[in-house]
Amino acid sequence: MSLISLNKNDEIMMSLAHYFITKENYVPINVQGAHEEIWLENLEGPYRVIRINAKSIYNDEQYMVDIFKIRYIIKQIKRKTLSFKVSTLNICLDVSNKVKMDPKYNIDSIKVDSMAEIKENNALVNAFPSIQKDLIEGENNIDLIINVTNDINEKTIKSNKLFEKVFSPKKIIITKAIIVINIIVFILMYLLGNGSQDIETLIRFGANFGPLVKVGQVWRLLTCAFVHIGLVHLIVNMYSLSIIGSQVETYVGKWKYLAIYILSAISGSLFSLISGSSVSAGASGAIFGLLGSLLYFGYHYRLYLNSVLRNQIIPIIVVNLLIGFLIPGIDVLAHVGGLIGGFLVTMALGLEGKSHPKDMINGWITFILYIVFLSVMVFVVL
């Protein structure tokens, strides 16, 4: 005989929570004041948010009050995750048959009275086909509680390991090496040339220059990212690189980081050539690519980084772009080109635990089309 007694709604709620957490990668949301209800979120799920409600709803007025509460909480989720639309599934376990549960405000509400009814509900089965075979049921209350608890704990351990792997401090190597290379090139411009502000020296050391790129010196699209014009230019870029680069290298790993840096530099240089044939140099295009990478990373990890994404990453990008547009002499097109390139390359390379193969394929296709478009503009149209 079971020592623990669960009522029907508790059993349904526990089984549904177990399924969505362990099989559909939803994570619990801490909603203040929520009693007899569970809130779950998956940014890539068929529904962004699932709410399981065991409270009794007897009439249409109570139902509309409940919908108003859901909309209030969804509005907070939108603000925290920078989302314009949040599809929500509202699963109600104790609703009178008199209540009309029509879809409202992008909220789909369904009623389930039993475990069998869950597996027969068309809305649930269409959105989550595996629910018919993966929904756990225990022969008694103790079995159900033990199985659900063990499976959710195992899922939590895996999630924690991924979190620690991604966010744990790591030894920064690539960023420091890039900074050293930039400083060495800067010194050599004075030892072997006429300084970092001399046009001939800049060109000789690999600065970006449209007429030379168009006749075959395409290597300038990359080498220009290691050449700087003046000491202030070098210091500002290396300081920015030390901060932003260290974060990206930690989050995505060394070799992905290196690929993002190089491809962002090239895309920024190509975009820069659209504006004309002036000599340009600097790591800012690649650095903006790293910001684009952080933007993509922050969006997919915004459950952990929502305040960082909203209060730091986006404002830094916006402010720096505005500075580029307002102050003469800044190659703002290189910034824009690098930003787009970094975002697309990160999408193509993927993020551990977040990216699906389809997203990565789409990222590569989009990035290649982007580079082809810039190349046609530079080498054919202009």
- In this structure, the answer to whether residues 359 and 326 fall within a common structural domain is yes
- In this structure, the answer to whether residues 162 and 180 fall within a common structural domain is no
- In this structure, the answer to whether residues 163 and 310 fall within a common structural domain is no
Answer yes or no: are the C-beta atoms of 39 and 80 closer than 8 Å: no
Q: pLDDT at position 1, please?
A: 40
Tens-place pLDDT, residues 242-301 = 999 999 999 999 999 999 999 999 999 999 999 876 899 999 999 999 999 999 998 888
- In this structure, the answer to whether residues 92 and 124 fall within a common structural domain is yes
- Active-site position among 246, 284, 293, 355: 284
Q: In this structure, is residue 2 part of a structural domain?
A: no
Domain closes at, from 137, 167, 197: 167
- In this structure, the answer to whether residues 53 and 193 fall within a common structural domain is no
Domain closes at, from 134, 167, 200: 167
Q: pLDDT at position 303, please?
A: 67
Q: pLDDT at position 277, please?
A: 66
Rounded mean pLDDT of 324-345?
Answer: 89
Rounded mean pLDDT of 87-111?
Answer: 88
Average pLDDT, the chain: 87
Q: In this structure, is residue 351 part of a structural domain?
A: yes
CA within 13 Å, CB half, 153: 6
What value, to the nearest 5°, has the Cα angle with vertex 252 and ends 248 and 255? 100
Tens-place pLDDT, residues 250-264 = 999 999 999 999 999
- In this structure, the answer to whether residues 48 and 83 fall within a common structural domain is yes
Residue 2 above 50 pLDDT? no
User: Whole domain around residue 276: which residue ranges?
Assistant: 174-381
Going from the C-alpha of 290 to that of each of 116, 216, 218, 271, 274, the distances in angstroms are 50, 27, 22, 16, 22
35 is catalytic: no
- In this structure, the answer to whether residues 260 and 340 fall within a common structural domain is yes
Residue 15 above 90 pLDDT? no
Domain closes at, from 167, 200, 223: 167
284 is catalytic: yes
Tens-place pLDDT, residues 361-379 = 999 999 999 999 999 999 9
CATH code where residue 343 lies: 1.20.1540.10
- Active-site position among 18, 233, 300, 335: 335
pTM of the model: 0.78
Q: In this structure, is residue 1 part of a structural domain?
A: no
- In this structure, the answer to whether residues 162 and 228 fall within a common structural domain is no
Total domains present in the chain? 2
Tell me how far apart the terminal alpha carbons of the chain are, to the nearest angstrom. 83
